[in-house]
Amino acid sequence: PIHQTMKIVAILFFTILAHNWSFCQTQIPKTFQAKVVGIKDGDTFKVLYNNSEITIRLNHIDCPEKNQPYGKNAKWKASDLCFGKMVKIVSNGKKDRYKRLIAEVYCNNININKELVKNGLAWHFKKYSSDNDYAKLEIQARKLKVGLWQQRNPIAPWNWRKK
């Protein structure tokens, strides 16, 4: 009986391993539907696609860090907009150094990336994006002093992380 149990455990183990390995090998489409199952912070989500979790890093933007002013607000807004919902992920297939898929996320036809900038909860990440729409949204948010632009001297997340 113990041999039989070990045999079953081994078969299960290798079946799961093979399934996960084959998923890693399959190409994720550039546009796909997925369910948002986690909001790590304003610009990093976890989505469920084909029974696998994929970490998404929102393209074109950089939200304040969690311990930075407006960091929690960015996370809450992202949560309000799409947590637990089906979203459309649009990427060029590129990943960042942490192996996160860089993408734009749409929920109910709302571009979440742009919505965060519009609400003053993210910077246009000019180092990695030359998209003029994001530049305009940030300028508008600054002008209207929404979100983090209410602060006298907001610190960009890339400078905050250097500390």
**Catalytic residue of the set 53, 57, 97, 142:** 57
In sequence order, the 6+-apart residues with CB closer than 8 A to the CB of 98 are 55, 57
Reply yes or no on whether 57 is catalytic.
yes
97 is catalytic: no
Q: Exposed, middle or buried: residue 97 (CB in 10 Å: 0-12, 13-18, 19+)?
A: exposed
Q: Which of 53, 65, 138, 142 is catalytic?
A: 65
Point out the catalytic residue in the list 53, 97, 100, 138. 100
Residues 84, 36 contacting (CB under 8 angstroms):
yes
Would you please indicate which residues are annotated as catalytic (active-site) residues?
A: 57, 65, 100
